[in-house]
Chains A and B, each alone.
Chain A
Amino acid sequence: DAMVIQNPRYQVTQFGKPVTLSCSQTLNHNVMYWYQQKSSQAPKLLFHYYDKDFNNEADTPDNFQSRRPNTSFCFLDIRSPGLGDAAMYLCATSTPGGIDDTQYFGPGTRLTVL
């Protein structure tokens, strides 16, 4: 089945130690999104890639960066995680303007910062 895959599902890191989260898709969608969801809160968009074009949200901290080496993969890099970065990180994909113009989500990576 076509899907959005996130690895790892659970990630523990130390304060200030860089961490990378991975997302891959078999849907062949143009757009890949990263959302941050803190406990009992709504997901908040960090940034997205439309093909190779990177689009950052205005209030996303510089500590968060992303890479998309090809259509299938997208990475979220947190350069120096703080305690406040502990959250669920959701990857989503879509093809805007397509027949099915809907965002599909992966299962998320739960990040713990010690």
Chain B
Amino acid sequence: AQTVTQSQPEMSVQEAETVTLSCTYDTSESDYYLFWYKQPPSRQMILVIRQEAYKQQNATENRFSVNFQKAAKSFSLKISDSQLGDAAMYFCAYRSVSGGADGLTFGKGTHLIIQP
């Protein structure tokens, strides 16, 4: 079974600075998707960024980028120019490609605090 580990229960960063959230995973499959989701307090979970394992290029979405290291099974999220609105719970998630409709396997999450 696949597992996803987020080793940082909580991170704090000053507004406008850069922060990196860590995620590692364990799988025996070669093709899969990795995701970072953001869950603000009392609000719905939204997709931040998605990476397909067969793509070597790291995904980027505006201020959000990932460092995907397939051999190391590492998938970290970098948030540049942090804003107050970035404060949320961040979940790393995995899904196999062959699984088709399989659900996501989530890590336990990292609570990101933005200091004004």
Contact = CB atoms under 8 A, between A and B. Distances in A.
B91 A42 contact: yes
A31 B101 contact: yes
Interface residues of B, number: 18
Interface in A18-53: 30-31, 33, 35, 40-45, 48, 50
A41 B107 CA distance: 9
A101 interface: yes
Contact of A102 (B44, B50, B100): B50
Given A107-B43, A107-B44, A35 B103 contact: yes
Contacts, number: 47
A108 interface: yes
Nearest to A106: B44
B16 interface: no
Query: Interface SS of chain B: helix, strand, loop or mixed?
Result: loop
A32 to B, nearest CB: 10
Interface of B: 33, 35, 37, 43-47, 50, 91, 100-101, 103-104, 106-109
5 contacts: A43-B106, A96-B100, A102-B47, A103-B104, A108-B45
